[in-house]
């Protein structure tokens, strides 16, 4: 007899003639259901583990790709840093070149200004105090057109070559000018006084103290006591002091064996070794030594022999 909790399982054979009835009691049915659920859970857990195992190989691949991209980015950053560093070095080098060229141009301007001041170059033709005037319409290929670093470097090299050429030319002109100025400076000419008159000529004369015929090795130029006595040419002072017969004497060597003397000075304004320029005050007029009144005794000697000073005085009027 079956209870309410019993279940029957009927198995039918092929021949439909025979059948078996398998009774299932409630405890057995519960165990069977639990077993089925356990099998389903195990299968699900196995599928989940299989899925995890299948997914795990993709994670290292993803990490490897990220690492490769990171390396590429780091390499690009290093290359960019090198490019910036090289560009900065190039800009620094160009800046130094430009500064050097600016300094050389300043020297050229100063040299040109010297030519203007010396009169070798007309001041109205060249003005070295201002930049050269230029202008005119220009056509541009585009608003963003600029010079590249190689082009700028090439232009600076060309400018440097032109400056080298101009420096050499101006240096030669400066040497010629300096030599010309030196020759002009050493050229003995004019009177050794700013005001006065000729009181005694070069050659034989009647001695003012004895009245006898005597040789006069220079010329006498009379003037106001204390007036300026000036150099007739540039040179070096080789004597500055008292000498018998001359009183206070200044002697200037102009080179090439040419010497001038200025005697009877009241006061000497220079000393031995001084480099004097043409027109510079050497002494003040007086009447020291063998003299009858304020005047300067002016002599010109070439290789130790006196020459007529009037020849040199008259040069100034030519």
263, 268, 271, 276 alpha-carbon torsion, rounded to 10°: -80
In this predicted structure, what is the pLDDT of residue 309?
95
What is the four-CA torsion angle of 73, 77, 79, 82, rounded to 10 degrees? Answer: -170
Predicted local confidence at residue 239, as pLDDT: 97
> Is the pLDDT reported for residue 268 higher than 90?
yes
β pairing state of 281-285 and 219-222: unpaired
pLDDT-based confidence at 264, cuts 50/70/90? very high
Q: What pLDDT, on a 0 to 100 scale, did the predictor assign at position 18? A: 58
CA distances to 29, 123, 262, 267 from 224, in Å: 159, 40, 16, 14
- pLDDT, residue 76, reads 83
pLDDT of 83 strictly over 90: no
Instruction: Give the pLDDT confidence score for residue 307 in this predicted structure.
Output: 95
Q: Is residue 2's pLDDT more than 50?
A: no
- Position with higher pLDDT, 233 vs 138: 233
Q: Is 317 a residue whose pLDDT tops 70?
A: no
User: Looking at the predicted structure, is the pLDDT value of residue 115 above 90?
Assistant: no
Which of residues 225 and 93 earns the better pLDDT score?
225
pTM across the whole model: 0.50
Structure tokens at 94: 């160009």
**Whether the predicted pLDDT of 293 surpasses 80:** yes
Q: Is 60 exceeded by the pLDDT of residue 14?
A: no
Q: What is the pLDDT of residues 119-173, one digit of tens each?
A: 655 555 555 555 665 566 666 555 555 666 677 778 777 777 777 777 776 776 6
CA atoms within 13 Å, Cβ hemisphere of 4: 0
Question: What DSSP line would sit under the chain, residue for residue?
Answer: ---TT-EEEEEE-TTSS-EEEEEE-HHHHHHHHHHHHHHHHHHHHHHHHHHHHHHTTHHHHHHHHHHHHHHHHHHHHHHHHHHHHHHHHHHHHHHHHHHHHHHHHHHHHHHHHHHHHHTSS-TTT--TTSPPP-------S-TT----HHHHHHHHHHHHHHHHHHHHHHHHHHHHHHHHHHHHHH---S-SBSS-EEEE-SEEEE-TTT-SEEEE-SEEEE--TT-EEE-SS-EEEEEEEEETTTEEEEEEEEETTEEEEEEEEEEE---TT-EE-TT-EEEEEB--SS-SSSEEEEEEEETTEEE-HHHHHGGGG-
Q: Residue 145: its pLDDT value, please?
A: 56
pLDDT at 57: 52
Q: How confident is the model at residue 13 (pLDDT cuts 50, 70, 90)?
A: low
Asked if pLDDT for residue 6 goes beyond 60, the answer is no
Q: Which residue has the higher pLDDT, 108 or 243?
A: 243
Looking at residue 122, its pLDDT comes to 56
Predicted confidence (pLDDT) at residue 49 exceeds the cutoff of 50: yes
What distance lies between CA 136 and its chain's CA centroid? 30
> Average pLDDT of 46-74?
70
Among residues 275, 277, 264, 260, the alpha carbon closest in space to that of 311 is found at 260
pLDDT in tens, 95-110: 777 777 777 777 777 7
Share of the chain above pLDDT 70, in %: 64
* CA–CA dist 97, 8 (Å, integer): 110
Residues 6+ apart with CB under 8 A from 55: none
Average pLDDT value for the chain: 78
- Interval 171-195 mean pLDDT: 76
Which range, of 28-37, 62-71, 195-204, 258-267, averages the lowest pLDDT?
A: 28-37
Q: Which pLDDT band, with edges at 50, 70 and 90, does 318 fall under?
A: very low
């Amino acid at each position: 007899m079956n209870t309410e909790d019993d279940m029957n399982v009927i198995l039918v054979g092929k021949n439909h003639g025979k059948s078996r009835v398998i009774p299932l009691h409630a405890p057995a049915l519960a165990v069977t259901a639990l077993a089925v659920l356990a099998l389903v859970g195990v299968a699900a857990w196995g599928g989940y583990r299989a899925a995890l195992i299948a997914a795990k190989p993709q994670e290292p691949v993803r990490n490897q790709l990220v690492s490769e991209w990171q390396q590429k980015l780091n390499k690009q950053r290093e290359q960019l840093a090198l490019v910036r560093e090289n560009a900065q070095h190039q800009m620094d080098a160009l800046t130094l070149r430009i500064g050097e060229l600016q300094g050389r141009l300043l020297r050229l301007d100063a040299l040109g200004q010297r030519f203007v001041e010396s009169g070798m170059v007309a001041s109205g033709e060249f003005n070295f105090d201002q930049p050269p005037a230029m202008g005119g319409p220009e056509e541009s290929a585009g608003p963003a057109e600029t010079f590249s670093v190689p082009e700028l470097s090439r232009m600076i090299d060309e400018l440097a070559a032109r400056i080298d050429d101009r420096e050499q030319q101006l240096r030669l002109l400066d040497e010629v000018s300096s030599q010309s100025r030196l020759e002009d400076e050493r050229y003995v000419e004019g009177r050794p006084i700013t005001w006065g008159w000729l009181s005694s000529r070069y050659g034989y004369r009647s001695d003012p103290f004895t009245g006898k015929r005597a040789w006069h090795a220079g010329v006498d130029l009379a003037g106001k006591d204390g007036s300026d006595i000036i150099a007739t040419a540039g040179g070096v002072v080789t004597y500055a002091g008292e000498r018998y017969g001359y009183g206070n004497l200044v002697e200037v060597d102009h080179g090439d064996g040419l010497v001038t003397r200025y005697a009877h000075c009241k006061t000497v304004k220079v000393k031995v070794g001084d480099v004097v320029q043409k027109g510079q005050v050497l002494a003040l007029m007086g009447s020291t030594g063998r003299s009858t009144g304020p005047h300067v005794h002016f002599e010109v000697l070439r290789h130790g022999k006196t020459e007529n000073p009037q020849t040199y005085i008259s040069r100034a009027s030519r």
